[in-house]
Structure 1
Amino acid sequence: METILVEWASLAIRWIHIITAFAWIGASFYFNWLLNHLLQADDQKIAGQLWALHAGGFFNIEKRNIEPGQLPAPLHWFKWESYWTWISGFTLLVITYYLGADAYLIDASVLALQPWQAILISLSFLAGSWLVYHYLWKSEFARRKTNLAMLITAGFIVLLAIALTHIFSGRGAFLQMGAILATWMTANVFFVIMPGQRKLVKATVEGLPQDKRLSEEAGWRSLHNNYLTLPVMFCMISNHYPASFGSHWNWLVLIGLFGVGVLVRHYFNARTKVGNWKPVWLLVLAFVIFAATALLASYPQLKLSLEQASAISYSQVQPIFAQRCVACHAAKTTHPAFPVAQKGVLLETEEQIRKQAALITVQVSSKAMPLGNLTQMTEEERALVLKWAQQVQP
């Protein structure tokens, strides 16, 4: 009963997470599109304007220069979309990855950790990485050397990817990276963008000149959020693709796919700017990096498929499936964490196993299964299963 309740709670929170994330990302993308399409107006009180057509209606959108002492009402703020996305996401992190740390966060073949140790490390990365990033961009150095600060930030993300994939399971490391960057994004809104906007509004109401530095800092963080969005979205769906997080070079795969997300985001930012420049080469480069990353991740499996190996009988691998897999993939499972066979995959009979040979190849080669290597499959057993699965595939 407890497992069922946890599953339904997880479903409800995940649904909330997706809804609020759509609202946040949609608003962010839309305002970015607006800023890139604003045209100059004759009225000096208007910083930019555009006409748009939607749902059968014509809209005239203006970006106004507000004079001190004046403030339009009602004034709409955009913050709760971000806050609830993080709150629901962190709750999911706790329910799935913290309560199920043995299965989802820890891989003893990477680093033997107790659940409490893995959770403490995860929380430390969330808070500590934000402080490093935040104080870098609060510094005078970032203001004077913005491009260099960007490179330092990118290097810091690479170091995080390397560290996480050498501490957690591949699945856990990818999700943790997404959680880290999502924390940066929401913290940017909570600690920088919103306080800056409140000070700007307060100055306007009191008839004081606005501090342009506040606008500049908010603009930086908003731009960072814009470019981090697609990499974070990849991290959140990566657990469905063991071929990515299960690679031996998974940190490099993670950075490669991050680069793809940033290039795609930059393409849309660039193409929406007023003008005729259409940087299609960014999409071409993104595709090349994606293909190279996929090849890197798939190389061991491709190499295995090309190797000539002696025939392996089912009787040689049957004991491995019985000992390492059937506890979670049976009509009546025996593992306490999984009351039903995951994704309905049954591995009790030769016929059932043969039908799943292609899936077994991906899951075992990527080390996504056994989940968290809870049943302690050895490298020798893994290699034997892979060779057999390669043989029986059509």
Structure 2
Amino acid sequence: MIRYCSRLALLASIACFFSGCATLPHSSPLPQGSQLRKISPADSGSPFSLQEGDGPLAFSDESLQLLDLKTGTKRLLAKERPIAVAISAFDKRVAAAFPAGSGSIVRIYDAAGKVLAETTVGGRVTSIVWRNKDELVLAALSIKKYSFGAQLDSILYRWDGIGKVLAIPANGTTVRPYIAKMPDEALARTFAMALSPYGDEVALTKLKDPPNFTPFLQIFTHHLDSSGERQIGEAPLGSGGPVYAPGGEKVLMGNADGEARWIPLSGGKEAEAYRSPGTSIALSPSGTYALVDGHLYRERKEVTSFPPGTTGVFSSDGSVLVLRYRDAIYLLTGINDSPAPALSQDSRLMELRRLRSKGLITQEELEKARGKH
């Protein structure tokens, strides 16, 4: 069955290439009541961001564009192509990063396209998240290439759009020449970041290239206020993720050599999630749906598959899935997922999580203290 679906996906991909892909091919019928349509051309491999199901959608089409999904109206935000973009869930401001020499320019736009703030950071920005309505967290990778290889420095930045940017060194490593020869875009993917649903920490991947061993990714959680870090797992180079589960206590991480898997933050046993390498992963707000390497799952059962290379993002209200394949963006409506569950922001719980990040209490002590509260 898997081989059959893969063959269908390959045939669909070939057909899509010659037809111009007015409709994105898929291997089996879509979920009942859902509809799929092309909504815009887009730069291949470019970032895009969506919050609510009715938009707006921020994406790249030879420039930074903002698309109103209700009216189909586009607004030009910047003439440059962004390398990272994120829409705020609080007021629909758009944060975007653009290459600038060895660094990146970061701007914040309002919904009308006005530039509200701008700053420059070192390194190539690989991802942006809105921690809350006032603060951005950025991940950036500085790449310095030499004859013997390259020096890669991973940096986290915190910025409120007003004051100075706070830089937090995350990782520094020297890689061998065959890794250094990878395109900068591929090297940038080795430093991925996801924000916890609690908003207090991020999950990170860090590249390690030890002599005489195969390079790999280490997976960490980093508490944004305490700077406490904990390694929670490892993955082969080329793996996608991490992506937090809705409950915030485990992350979904790809395994380029095998299947995507759940990694518990408590340090417990990892669990298989999807029988796909997980080089690209998106999770719906409730966790019911997942898009893994172009395969759409509902409660871990494959619903349909799109051509290889298809990536996507779910809206925060669970109503739509935006897909990008090659140089076009598509909208899948009617999937009827649920919003993410509300998580407690109780000050006592947040303090316990901070203490755990510093290694001052164990997961068991956190659970016990939380139960008594």
TM-score (norm 2): 0.25
Which of the pair is proportionally richer in strand? 2
Larger radius of gyration: 1
Structure with greater helix share of residues: 1
Higher relative contact order (CA 8 A, sep 6+): 1
Q: What is the TM-score when the length of structure 1 is the normalising length?
A: 0.24
